[in-house]
Amino acid sequence: MSRCKVVNLEQHLQSPEPLPEPMSTPSQTQDPLLGKILASGTEPGDDASERILAAALSQAEDFGVRRFTIDDVARRVGVSRVTIYRYFPKKDRLIEAVMLHELRRFLRDIDAAIAPYDTLQDRLVEGFVFALTFLRKHRLLNRLLRTEPEFILPNLTVKAVPILAAAREFIAGHAHREAEQGGLPLTSDEIEGLSELLARAVLSFVLTPDSVLGLKTHAEIRRFAEHYLAPTLHALSQLPQTAS
């Protein structure tokens, strides 16, 4: 039986293809994975490529990646496999494109969810609630964790450095912007540390949802963020400032 190899994000980032100019983000990213996720034009933007990505996502949601084939995606779109290969030369490239597309949608939806809130503390709470709820309900992520953990778990555990770095920088970008505007008295090190704490908390509760803290309902997730995460931000802002 043929097996689909694990997508190694670190290896994927070593591609010699140059990144296009990034779209507007909270801060100019230096993290390669985050840059790849957010860059405009990383994936073809015409209607055909969008339909291919949508069909590939549905195929992976329904059958996983082990049984994922270009032929099945082509049938869903109503085109030949040759057409698929014009956009995505290999099966692995198409799967990676789907993953990047979903990561980009996730980050854009977080930005939209926190946009109405004025304070960083409120945005922290809303961002955590949205992120955990979104990921727990994500069909493809849940299917892979349930039926093909060997495909996804390495990138979320022992090889999670790229994902954590991208998440940390995305969160820190918002905090750094707040600090530059004088609304957040935290050092750069404190911002980076808090951002990593948030990223690790989300990842941990996605992978291991059972907890004495509850976090099964939307209200419980919000209560956790308000009682534990927001006070951490407030406490850090009250500490005597030292050079970072």
Instruction: Report the alpha-carbon distance of residue 89 to residue 73 in Å, rounded.
Output: 14
The pLDDT assigned to 217 comes to 94
pLDDT in tens, 103-155: 999 999 999 999 999 988 999 999 999 999 999 999 999 999 999 999 999 99
3-state helix, strand, coil in the chain (%, to 5): 65, 0, 30
Mean pLDDT of all residues in 11-28: 39
Q: What percent of the chain has pLDDT over 90?
A: 69
Q: Examine the pLDDT at 220 and tell me if it is beyond 90.
A: yes
pLDDT band with cut points at 50, 70 and 90 for residue 8: low
Q: Is the dihedral of CA 167, 173, 132, 140 positive or negative?
A: negative
- Domains annotated for the chain, with CATH where assigned, are 25-40+100-238 (1.10.357.10)
pLDDT in tens, 152-208: 999 999 999 999 999 999 999 999 988 888 778 888 999 999 999 999 999 999 999
Among the ranges given (21-25, 64-68, 131-135), the one the predictor scored with the smallest mean pLDDT: 21-25
Phi, psi (degrees; rounded to nearest 5) at 27 = -150, 160
pTM of the model: 0.82
